[in-house]
Amino acid sequence: MPFSLTPMSTIIFIAVIAVIILFIIGYLKAPPDTAYIISGLGKKRVLIGKAGWRIPFFERVDKLSLRVMQVDVKTSEAVPTNEFINVSVDGVANIKISSDVELLQRASEALLGMRQNELISLVTQVLEGNMREIVGSVGLKEMVQDRQGVAKKITENVVPDMRKLGIEVVNFNIQNFKDNAGTIENMGIDNVEQIRKNAQIAKANAQRDIAIAAANAEQEANAVKVQTQKLIAEQNAQLSVQQAEMRVLADTKKAEADAAYSIQQENQRKIIEVTRVNADIARREKEAELAEKDIALKERQLDAEVRKQADAMKYKAEKEAEAELIRRQKEAEAHTYEALREAEARKAEAEALRFSMEQEAEGIRAKGLAEAEAIEKKAEAQRKMGEASVLEMYLNALPLVVQNAAAPLAQTDKIVMYGDGNATKLVKDVMLSADQIVDGMRESTGIDLKTILAGFVGGRAAQTPNAADASEKTSD
């Protein structure tokens, strides 16, 4: 029976075929190293390493490779370090588009549809800028000695910029540094010299340690040798002591044998000697008894003679001592008597002197009273007589004053004077001394002799013309 389709069956068949075709066209399966970005209806979807669907004609699929890309980063021109040393840096970075959803969204917006060489060029510019920034902030020595640290700084510095593009920096390494001035090479030479110096120092220290160890070993060996020799010497000494002790023991035994023989001989000789001595002692005892009796007799005779002589000398000495004592007593009594007489004489002399001084004082007192009374009467008379009596008294005393002023000259044996008019000068000096005495009187008593004389002479001169007039009148 031939197969025939109804219109409904045809529609169903067509619909199934269409679904199958749509299924085939819309089914997607993304590999792990590629991100499928589905966009067109609603929210974008991302497929990485899994299967999915898209609606044909209404959604599109874009692909972003998640593979690691290698980027060579070189500075286009020399970059000055913080020490102002121009350096060219050659580095390499491994980057990839991040599989993180947020970063992948950023990458889909910034990098979707970009070819790989364009992406590498963009990343190279970003990396070079950050590398120049980090190189300018570090020193050449740090850069050479710590490449990993500098690369880490560059990586940390570039990550924020890369995240904005949705790119991850897998790693970054600095491969080479170059400078046109040869500074790095000089630093290498300096390091080589430093290493050579450290090696020489280490070698010297090692040689010193070897020498010290050798000296210590030699010292220990010498100490062991000395200790061994000491033990040998002690053992030899002990052997010598033991040998000496054996010899002493042998000599002792021999000496004991010889001594026993000698003792036996000595005992025999002693017996003979004792017998001989006893006989001699008995003889001497008899002689000693006789001698003692003789000595006792002579002692009694000598004692009698000596005692008599000693008694006589004792009596004589006692008498002489008594006489000397009496003589000294008499001399002491005489000295005492003379001292008493002398004291009495001095006392009488002092009494006489005291009496004489009292009499003299009494006479002086009486004389003073008389002179005071005379002076008082004279003063009374002078007071009554006025200036004339005073003038007369001073004129009478003036020669005495001049005489006393010239008295030192009278005591001089010889005066030698030089120059002209020396005699006149001498008289002038004497008169000047008298004048000074008169001035002293004026200052001490208040009486001016010069004024009194001037007044007296003036009065006499006034009286003389009056007297002449009177005589003329009388003659008339």
Range among 108-122, 258-272, 340-354, 381-395 with highest mean pLDDT value? 108-122
What whole-number distance in Å separates Cα of residue 285 and Cα of residue 117?
159
What whole-number distance in Å separates Cα of residue 169 and Cα of residue 155?
7
Question: How many beta carbons lie within 10 A of that of residue 354, not counting itself?
Answer: 10
Contact 442/452 with Cβ under 8 angstroms?
no
| DSSP line for 391-426 | HHHHHHHHHHHHHHHTHHHHT-S-----SSSHHHHH
Distances from the Cα of 396 to the Cα of 363, 381, 389, 404, 444, angstroms? 28, 16, 10, 14, 19
Distances from the Cα of 329 to the Cα of 323, 324, 340, angstroms? 10, 9, 16
CA atoms within 13 A on the CB side of 138: 23
Chain mean position to CA 71 = 70
* Residue 313, token pair as written in the block: 């000398």
Distances from the Cα of 27 to the Cα of 20, 38, 40, 47, 66, angstroms? 10, 12, 16, 12, 21
* Amino acid sitting at position 47: L
Q: How sure is the predictor about 7, in pLDDT bands with cuts at 50, 70 and 90? A: confident
The least confident of 174-178, 322-326, 388-392 is 388-392
Instruction: Give which of 149, 136, 159 is closest to 89, Cα–Cα.
Output: 136
**Mean pLDDT across the chain, nearest whole number?**
76
Tell me, what's the pLDDT at 433?
64
Q: How sure is the predictor about 415, in pLDDT bands with cuts at 50, 70 and 90? A: low
Tell me, what's the pLDDT at 475?
45
Range among 220-234, 285-299, 318-332 with highest mean pLDDT value? 220-234
**For 74, phi and psi rounded to 5 degrees?**
-130, 140
Q: How sure is the predictor about 13, in pLDDT bands with cuts at 50, 70 and 90? A: confident
Tell me, what's the pLDDT at 286?
81
**pLDDT (mean) for 340-356:** 77
Task: Give 52's DSSP letter.
Answer: E
Residue in this structure with the two tokens 């002790």, named with its chain if needed: 245
- pLDDT, tens only, 190-218: 565 666 677 778 878 888 888 888 888 88
Instruction: Give which of 444, 437, 448, 428 is closest to 405, Cα–Cα.
Output: 437
- pLDDT, tens only, 99-142: 888 888 888 888 887 888 888 888 888 888 888 888 888 877 77
Question: How many beta carbons lie within 10 A of that of residue 47, not counting itself?
Answer: 20
Tell me, what's the pLDDT at 251?
82
**pLDDT (mean) for 320-343:** 80
Instruction: Specify the pTM.
Output: 0.36
Please determine, for residue 474, whether its predicted confidence score (pLDDT) is greater than 50: no
Tell me, what's the pLDDT at 473?
46
Angle at 63 between CA 60 and CA 65, to 5 degrees: 170
Tell me, what's the pLDDT at 468?
45
Q: How sure is the predictor about 361, in pLDDT bands with cuts at 50, 70 and 90? A: low
Q: Please name each of the domains of the chain with its CATH number.
A: 7-61 (no CATH), 67-181 (3.30.479.30), 386-475 (no CATH)
Three-state secondary structure along 8-41? HHHHHHHHHHHHHHHHHHHEEECCCCEEEEEECC
Angle at 151 between CA 147 and CA 152, to 5 degrees: 115
Residue in this structure with the two tokens 């030899």, named with its chain if needed: 236
Contact 169/162 with Cβ under 8 angstroms?
yes
Tell me, what's the pLDDT at 73?
86
Tell me, what's the pLDDT at 472?
46
What whole-number distance in Å separates Cα of residue 383 and Cα of residue 386?
5
Please determine, for residue 377, whether its predicted confidence score (pLDDT) is greater than 60: yes
- pLDDT, tens only, 45-71: 888 878 787 777 788 888 888 888 888
**pLDDT (mean) for 425-440:** 65
Percent of the chain past pLDDT 70, that is, above it, reads 72
